[in-house]
A and B are shown apart, each in its own frame.
Chain A
Amino acid sequence: QVQLQESGPGLVKPSETLSLTCAVSGGSISSSNWWSWVRQPPGKGLEWIGEIYPSGSTNYNPSLKSRVTISVDKSRNQFSLKLSSVTAADTAVYYCAREMLRFGELLKSFDCWGQGTLVTVSS
């Protein structure tokens, strides 16, 4: 079965760029799924950041769009998140997730999640 694993620095300085990668194992990132990033500030709820299709098409949360870039590397079976000009408000657990696909239909929910990685923004 497909497994997702986030990786990247756990500490980022204010005004710098947060960079994370999600490695996909047990399946191909080139399947007909959309792949998303979701974050969760400590003790708070979930916020969708954006998504990417294997072709490279993306959709972003308008509240973050000016600072977010999501990219895909099919040769490495992984996708990545870059969030620029970070502040303390960007401190969160960052999850990568797969949109559910069943019988060729995208079901607009997330059926596979990484374990999450905590990123702290602090000097």
Chain B
Amino acid sequence: EIVLTQSPGTLSLSPGERATLSCRASQSVSGNYLAWYQQKPGQAPRLLIYGASSRATGIPDRFSGSGSGTDFTLTISRLEPEDFAVFYCQQYGGSPLFTFGPGTKVDIK
């Protein structure tokens, strides 16, 4: 099983600041099949980034993804009030086919 570790567990920032979230895999993620999701309370996850660095439809360009192999990063260049949420990374490959990280909560400082 490919285990994903996300850090930090919680990130306390102010609107307008830059957020950098990390996702580390226990093994190399094949094909760079690494995605990022945002989840707000009471809502389903929303796809932000797929293929490690491609933005999903309708996602603002302040969200960007980077990385390869075992180390991946989600960056939010300037936090907007609506960005505060929990963010999950997800990989494909191995067994089980899909696994998620434990999440990083971005809250308002």
**Contact indicator per residue, chain B 34-59, by CB within 8 Å of chain A (1) or not (0):** 01010000011111001100001100
New A-B pairs, 14, CB < 8 Å, besides A62-B95, A108-B98: A45-B88, A45-B101, A48-B97, A48-B98, A107-B50, A107-B51, A108-B33, A109-B56, A110-B35, A110-B47, A111-B50, A111-B57, A113-B45, A113-B46
Majority secondary structure of chain A interface residues (helix, strand, loop or mixed):
strand
CA distance A60 to B96 in the complex (A): 7
**Chain B interface size, under 10 / 10 to 19 / 20 to 34 / 35 or more:** 20 to 34
User: A116, B99: Cβ atoms under 8 Å?
Assistant: no
**A residues engaging B (CB < 8 A)?**
36, 45-48, 51, 59-63, 95, 100, 107-111, 113-116
User: B35, A109: Cβ atoms under 8 Å?
Assistant: yes
Chain B residues with CB under 8 Å of A62's CB are: 95-96
CA distance A45 to B37 in the complex (A): 12
User: A61, B96: Cβ atoms under 8 Å?
Assistant: yes
